[in-house]
Structure 1
Amino acid sequence: MALQQLNAFPRDKSGIQAASSPSGVTHVRHRHTERFTVVGNHLAQHRELSLLAKGLGLYIQSLPDGVEIGIKALAARCVEGEVAIASALRELEAHGYLSRTKERLASGRWVTRTVSYDMPLALIPQQQQQQRQQQQPPKKPRAVPKREAVETVETLEAVEAVASEPVAEAPSLPAPGHPDLARHRTAAEILAGLRRHDPRLLLGELDIRRLAPAVAAWLERGIEPLAVQRTLTALLPQEDIARPAGLIAHRLTHLLPPPLPAAPVKPRVVPLQNCDHCDRAYRSHTEGLCPGCEAEQGPGGPGAPGRV
């Protein structure tokens, strides 16, 4: 008769109910009564969103109203960098979980208004959409600043706003004073290569032909091609650029540096000569006698040039 093995458990003691299949996840549920956030499976199991975008969307939905969720603010609170966070924000915005709009305050300063949706409008029935839109606070009318205020805010911050909304073209693009074919070709190469630094700066051939003389004007004023490229690609807005040609034209017109001042003319140095009589050095444009010997002997003296 075999002995009973007392060291073997007769049943599972882990406290976790065995799954119907040996593979796959087994959940241990806990009922939360405080500090929890309800997130829809349409976000958690979204097939087109990256895991970073899903996690960032969950984190944003767990925040109270009024918390700053700009790229720099999120990067300061998360381990991901600004580039990854900016990409995740664009994903959430593209699928309707975020909306970011530029608004101009009465002071002339541009601000970004961000709205987070726990369910995109495309997934809400029409009746619920109308109720939800009625609950949202109405947008404040945009204040039109005075002419003086507009001129004072023409900085890089105001330049960035023209990329996300329709704006009027610059009244007149700068043009070179002395057209040069080689300089014009370099300008066209700079414009065509902007998409390498940011795919949103894709310009068509007609836009490149129209903007190339303005870039040539920068080159004519002594600006290096690399400096022109950096100016056109620096501090770009976070959202999509609807009109890249308008943004480039605005920067080429309003950020055009002044011409360099003329270099000071160096005074012409009078050369040194040796006196034919006393052999002393003196400054003169012609050879002959020094002023002292010329005064003593006179113009026709024995030491004068041409006399033996």
Structure 2
Amino acid sequence: MDTQQNTALTRALTEIPGPLPARGVIHIAIRHTDRFTVVGNDLAQHPGLSTAAVGFAVRIQSLPQGTEVGIKALAARFPEGEKLVAAALRELEAHGYLQRARTRLPNGRIVTRTVFCNQPAALLRPRVAAAPPKQAPAAPQVTAPVPASVPAPARAPAQGPALAPAPKPEHHAPLASAPEAPVPEASTPQDHAHFVPLVPPPTAPKPPRPPLPQPRELTPELERISTALLSDLHHHSPEFTLSEEHVHRLVPGVAAWLERDTHPDTIRHALTTNAPEPVKYPYQFVKHRLTVLLPPPALRTTVTPFQTCDGCERAFRAPTPGHCRDCRTGLAHEDQQAAA
């Protein structure tokens, strides 16, 4: 197998035009027709990036859109460990090739979106907006009368010595001069300031964030249960360690959930499940989920309680104690007979 490869390489070297260098690398470039990725020399020969960072940049650039390129995903795909992958991604992020931003999905979950740019320096170059060319008004054509005695000047050859200008005839109207080409104005620093950005800024202001839900009445019992639930979050997930001030601010939001007949375990599960890694700002994250994932109010139905009849000791439904329907009818009949 090695002999076949060496023979193919020797044959390919003989087909390279021109003299070969006596030392150093010799490139045998075979044109790709499918499954290839274009890599610029600014990345391949970047003086500030390590070989591992350049290698991972090439691998990320070759992956299709939507492929997971986190630390764990790359470590599972390639033989390098998570520490080497994390160090390479930090290098690419420091030099502008990689950007990791947190994005909020419509369901309230926060995910990390990775953006890779093969030429980060090109994003910083200002691009002058191409203005439409100004069309000068067409000048009126003026034809000067040419005397019959003056012969027409002969046309100069395409390539040859310059001929002397022909003598101007006397006593005739002057020839109309051709309109001069507009001289371009000198560019000023203000002209270069107006460039088309690659990423346009947002045109509409962001809507204000909804406030933290509040209960109808913050009773001492609701406040006690809410404080205990928030203070106990770090036992279930160490990243949800809240300060005393943050717990005091978030108590009304938890109380609003409890007021809607939500079990404390359900609240804890809604706050800590599918959280990003790591949770940099636990207070903002808990506040967001308490606001966005607030359940609807519970539908309360009024149930008429059972009462015991004072006359026959029979059970019947009524809002207040008294007599059942039969006893009330009998008492009314007795009252009518007594009145008669």
Return the TM-score normalized by structure 2.
0.43
Higher relative contact order (CA 8 A, sep 6+): 1
Structure number, greater radius of gyration: 2
